[in-house]
């Protein structure tokens, strides 16, 4: 079956897939090392479920990246939950995975990536909605003038000049 796909994969989608695959391999390795270290102590055996989490995330990341990198596109949605878990792995000391999670969330908001995922899943490509125009019509406000009493004229006392000489001492 020789079918050609007219759907061109954007570079950002490939970047998402490669970064997710790399992060998955690192998380897989990180989880194995953390679990092996935890098994060497008594307290670590109690904490073993926590150390297995990067391994589980690594498996999901590898599966997701494989779907994105496949030659024949498969219907797949953007996965912000994987990106969020990648960011949370900083609690395990994995800074690389945190950076990948942040970049992936930023790349998901790109218009070409959104259009690619929409067309891949058979949804109509939804362009970002144009902002609604807000029309502000001028409204004439009634002018309210409080009637103040008319100012009364106040007579100011006039200065008187004294005649005569002053004594200077």
Q: Are 54 and 30 in contact (CB under 8 A)?
A: yes
Q: Three-state SS string across 22-83, please?
A: HHHHHHHHHHHHHHHHHHCCHHHHHCHHHHHHHHHHHHHHHHHHHHHHCCCCCCCCCCHHHH
Per-residue pLDDT reduced to its tens digit, 2-28 = 444 556 888 999 999 999 999 999 999
Which residue has better confidence, 135 or 169? 135
Residue 58 φ then ψ, to 5°: -60, -40
C-alpha span between 60 and 53 (Å, rounded): 11
3-state secondary structure of 113: helix
**pTM reported for the whole predicted model:** 0.66
Q: Is the pLDDT of residue 155 over 50?
A: yes
Q: Are 52 and 30 in contact (CB under 8 A)?
A: no
pLDDT at 39: 85
pLDDT at 129: 53
Per-residue pLDDT reduced to its tens digit, 55-97 = 999 999 999 999 999 888 788 889 899 999 999 999 888 899 9
């Amino acid at each position: 079956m020789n079918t050609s796909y007219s759907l061109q994969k954007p570079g950002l989608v490939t970047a998402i897939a490669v970064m997710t695959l790399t992060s998955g391999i690192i998380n897989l390795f990180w989880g194995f090392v953390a679990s092996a270290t935890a098994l060497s102590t008594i307290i670590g055996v109690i904490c073993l479920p926590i150390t297995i989490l990067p391994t589980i995330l690594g498996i999901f990341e590898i599966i997701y990246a494989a779907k994105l990198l496949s030659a024949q596109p498969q219907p797949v949605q953007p996965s912000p939950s994987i990106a969020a878990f990648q960011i949370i792995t900083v609690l395990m000391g994995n800074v690389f995975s945190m950076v990948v999670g942040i970049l992936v969330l930023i790349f998901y908001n790109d218009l070409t990536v959104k259009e690619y995922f929409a067309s891949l899943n058979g949804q109509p490509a939804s362009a970002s909605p144009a902002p609604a125009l807000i029309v502000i019509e001028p409204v004439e406000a009634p002018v309210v003038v409080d009637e103040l009493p008319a100012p009364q004229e106040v007579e100011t006392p006039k200065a008187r000049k004294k005649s005569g000489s002053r004594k200077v001492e």
